[in-house]
Amino acid sequence: MRWLLRLYPRRWRERYEDEMLALLEQHTVTPATIADLLLGALDAHLHYDAFGEGVIYVINRLRASVIEVFYAFILYGVGWSMLQRINDPVDTYDGAARVHPELTVLHDAMFIVGCLGFLAFLLGGLPLFFIAVQRAFVHRQRNVLVPFVVSVACLLLFVTATATLAAWHPQTHVYQYLIGYLSLSALLLLVGAVAVSLVIHRAHFEVSDLKFVFVFVFVPEVVIVFSMIVSVLSATALLILITVHAPYLFDTQDVGRPMFIIGLLCMVLSSIFAAIELRRGRLRRLNEDTST
């Protein structure tokens, strides 16, 4: 039964694992017991918080939640970007949209809430990142400053590559360059995301930061997750409408059906993951718990 208890959160196991194992040794284990333990593990992940177990744990939990929402948003961004070119070439898409204006509404909704989520992502992420780097400078934390430099380098490289491609602007698609650009962007995104998460993971946060985090990180996180969910719903409706009313778009547009579905799956999975992490990192009863 020990393997089932491993499904429980680490803090839970530290507190209850031994006594639960002792109980299970005396208890007749049935399929109902296994199902009950599985549900119990899920419940513990969703509801067990350890505010009473120390502020350090709260900070670490928040930190983990922020990093995981960040990763979820990156995955969401990849899926969202894949879907954006459904209206290219414009002429074919506009032809379908004139007959079915709801296509434009859904596409615009997906685009707008995606942008809203990205704005919230910047508003929430940049101040936290700034605090982390500022503390790293003060405390001379080399293990934070190095990933910070790497993340900035990734951003600069991406901007340079994009600007170069935009300035060059060839009249015909040169696929070797396009694939090279996309591969480089994916690599920079991956390295940059890992570097940023290392900055947050290793940064020195203090108790006073918690209230700041609540307003400037938790609220944007709510907006991010809301945007993700709304855009998933819009994209799903768009997929259904195109399939029903204008299936030829999947042949004529830059985004084919497989690409659309992969993009949508990325968005769905990341939204579920972000919602779970948001719940896990919530700061319920922050004031009374950190004041003790």
Partner 1 sequence: MRYEELGRFADVSFLILASLTSGPKHGYAMMEDIREFSGTQLEPGTLYGAIARLEKKGWIEALPAENRRRPYRITTAGIAAFREQVATLQRVTTVGKERLAIWEGS
Among 2, 6, 14, 39, binds partner 1 (CB under 8 A): 39
Among 3, 10, 52, 142, binds partner 1 (CB under 8 A): 52
Cis peptide bond prior to 89, omega within 30° of 0: yes
Among 6, 14, 38, 207, binds partner 1 (CB under 8 A): 38
Angle between the N-to-C axes of helices 257-280 and 31-47, in degrees from 0 to 180, rounded to the nearest 10: 80
Shortest Å distance, C-beta 70 to partner 1: 29
Of 41 and 103, the one with the shorter C-beta distance to partner 1 is 41
Shortest Å distance, C-beta 32 to partner 1: 6
Per CB under 8 A, does 174 bind partner 1? Answer: no
Handedness of CA 129, 231, 42, 74 (dihedral sign): negative
Among 12, 121, 218, 250, binds partner 1 (CB under 8 A): 12
Instruction: Say if residues 12 and 44 touch (Cβ distance below 8 Å).
Output: yes
Judged by CB under 8 A, the number of residues near partner 1 is 24
Token pair of 41, please? 């593990």
CA–CA dist 280, 49 (Å, integer): 8
CA–CA dist 19, 34 (Å, integer): 17
Per CB under 8 A, does 58 bind partner 1? Answer: no
Indicate the DSSP class of residue 171: S
Site for partner 1 in 142-171 (CB under 8 A): none
Angle between the N-to-C axes of helices 55-84 and 175-202, in degrees from 0 to 180, rounded to the nearest 10: 170
Of 173 and 284, the one with the shorter C-beta distance to partner 1 is 284
Per CB under 8 A, does 46 bind partner 1? Answer: no
> Per-residue string for binding with partner 1, 18-37, x by CB under 8 A?
xxxxxxx-xx----xx--xx
CA–CA dist 44, 36 (Å, integer): 12
What backbone torsions phi and psi does residue 205 show, to the nearest 5 degrees?
-105, 155
Shortest Å distance, C-beta 23 to partner 1: 4
Residue ranges in contact with partner 1 by CB under 8 A: 12, 15-16, 18-24, 26-27, 32-33, 36-41, 43-44, 48, 52
